[in-house]
Chain A
Amino acid sequence: MLQKIYDWIDERADITPIWRDIADHEVPEHVNPAHHFSAFVYCFGGLTFFVVVIQILSGMFLTMYYVPDIENAWRSVYYLQTEVAHGQIVRGMHHWGASVVIVMLLLHTLRVFFQGAYKKPRELNWIVGVLIFFIMLGLGFTGYLLPWDNKAFFATQVGLEIAQQVPFVGEELKTLLAGDEKIVGAQTLTRFFAIHVFFLPGALFALLAVHFILIRRQGISGPL
């Protein structure tokens, strides 16, 4: 049945070559942990992506209950945690996953750095990777505020004051992030929500696409 559906589509759209481009390629011996166990270090990039997928999925489901409004944000999170079946688990996945992403990302970065895998022609992909790192930090920073509890509020207060230290445009940057010159409140929360849920993920998807396409173009760097 599935095969027939696939064939029906393939006959019309010729999707098999696309599939082959994406998935069907050789894994060099030096990156295959079955040959050299130490090659597990090559898994960190894929693991980062795997955790990102978990973050995207759990985040999508969390927005079914969450409201980005100062009156209701905390209450909706509390409701989700205490009243909704498995709500605690899904929020737990998003909460802990956020940290795991950063850990995996750092391990991946260290591997690339110490193997010198960033050297020409792959320095372009290194740059893209660093941009992804900044996007991830942005996601962590904006997501931290969303539960609107005390920790979130004061962490954001501090984060905004760090932004304020930027020379020349600090004040403006802080206002741009907070949505108000003095108050960290309703407008800050909606802004952070929009950035966390739409703007940064959008940028992340684009950069990830570039990151992966470059890997396929340039191949994995040779053995040490």
Chain B
Amino acid sequence: MSDKKQQVSRRQFLNYTLTGVGGFMAAGMLAPMLRMAVDPVLKESGQGDMANVGLSVDDITTEPQKVDWKITQVDGWYESEVNRSAWVFKDENGDIQAFSPVCKHLGCVVSWGGSDEYPEQFFCPCHDGRYYKDGTNVPGTPPLQPLDVYELEVRDGILFLGDAVPREGA
């Protein structure tokens, strides 16, 4: 071992020490700021409650109908009532379906029979996106995924809806 060659010069030592201490101070200063800035990404998303949408199950037909309701939204320091809506109907098996009206292309709002040419489909007016009655996107139109589905629950014959979630395998 030749200790002489491995020796750190005084200048190098001071450089390393100063860079180290400076870096430590800068990191100590910046870490809380960066942690604060990225907080929204790291926050756990709260599980949405099921909301009464004011629709009796008996009134749900095989024809999709638009249901509007309000939920209380807590947005940081701001609480407000926001509107939600869904297309609700019974499918051929008699199961209730509740689709989000938000187009999977770029987020416009779709409506059932919104186009005179395709009365039996969901239609998005922005870029002529279309979905079949089961919510799957019509191939060759802009959307690439089926409409999101609301979590749903029936309590005492009344429909309750939760959050809209993307379908499995979508």
The judgment on whether A and B are partners is yes
Q: Which residues of A contact B (CB under 8 A)?
A: 54, 57-58, 61, 64-65, 72, 75-76, 78-80, 83-87, 89-90, 93
Tell me if B78 and A58 are in contact (CB < 8 A): no
Which secondary structure dominates where chain B touches chain A? helix
Q: Mark B117-143, 1 if CB is under 8 A from A, else 0.
A: 000000000000000000000000000
Tell me if B29 and A57 are in contact (CB < 8 A): yes
Tell me if B77 and A61 are in contact (CB < 8 A): no
Contact status of A57 and B32, CB under 8 A, knowing A76-B77, A79-B77, A84-B39: no
7 contacts between A and B (CB under 8 A): A64-B36, A75-B77, A84-B36, A84-B39, A85-B36, A86-B32, A93-B29
Contact status of A79 and B35, CB under 8 A, knowing A54-B29, A57-B29, A57-B30: no
Question: Which A residues are in CB contact (< 8 Å) with B32?
Answer: 86, 89-90, 93
- Give Cα distance in the complex from A61 to B32, angstroms: 10
Q: Which residue of B lies closest to A67 (CB)?
A: B77
Check: B33 CB closer than 8 A to any chain A CB: yes
Name the 3 nearest CB pairs between A and B, nearest first: A79-B77, A75-B77, A86-B32
Question: Which A residues are in CB contact (< 8 Å) with B78?
Answer: 72, 75
Tell me if A86 and B76 are in contact (CB < 8 A): no
The smallest C-beta distance from B143 to any residue of chain A, in angstroms, reads 34
- Give Cα distance in the complex from A76 to B37, angstroms: 14
Question: Which B residues are in CB contact (< 8 Å) with A54?
Answer: 29
Check: B8 CB closer than 8 A to any chain A CB: no
| Interface bin, chain B | 10 to 19
Question: Which A residues are in CB contact (< 8 Å) with B170?
Answer: none
Q: Mark B37-73, 1 if CB is under 8 A from A, else 0.
A: 1010010000000000000000000000000000000
Question: Which A residues are in CB contact (< 8 Å) with B77?
Answer: 72, 75-76, 78-79
Other A-B pairs, 14, CB within 8 Å; known A57-B30, A64-B36, A76-B77: A54-B29, A57-B33, A61-B37, A65-B36, A72-B78, A75-B77, A84-B36, A85-B39, A86-B31, A86-B33, A86-B39, A89-B32, A90-B32, A93-B32
Question: Which B residues are in CB contact (< 8 Å) with A90?
Answer: 32-33, 36
The smallest C-beta distance from A91 to any residue of chain B, in angstroms, reads 9
- Give Cα distance in the complex from A31 to B38, angstroms: 42
- Give Cα distance in the complex from A86 to B39, angstroms: 9
Question: Which B residues are in CB contact (< 8 Å) with A58?
Answer: 33
Q: Which residue of B lies closest to A61 (CB)?
A: B33
- Give Cα distance in the complex from A54 to B42, angstroms: 24
- Give Cα distance in the complex from A80 to B35, angstroms: 12
The smallest C-beta distance from A45 to any residue of chain B, in angstroms, reads 18
Tell me if A76 and B76 are in contact (CB < 8 A): yes
Contact status of A65 and B76, CB under 8 A, knowing A85-B39, A85-B42: yes
- Give Cα distance in the complex from A11 to B89, angstroms: 69
Tell me if A87 and B30 are in contact (CB < 8 A): no
Contact status of A61 and B36, CB under 8 A, knowing A54-B29, A85-B42: yes
Q: Which residue of B lies closest to A53 (CB)?
A: B29
- Give Cα distance in the complex from A57 to B25, angstroms: 14
Question: Which A residues are in CB contact (< 8 Å) with B37?
Answer: 61, 64
Partner of B35, one of A72, A75, A76, A85: A85
The smallest C-beta distance from B108 to any residue of chain A, in angstroms, reads 29
- Give Cα distance in the complex from A86 to B32, angstroms: 5
- Give Cα distance in the complex from A65 to B36, angstroms: 9
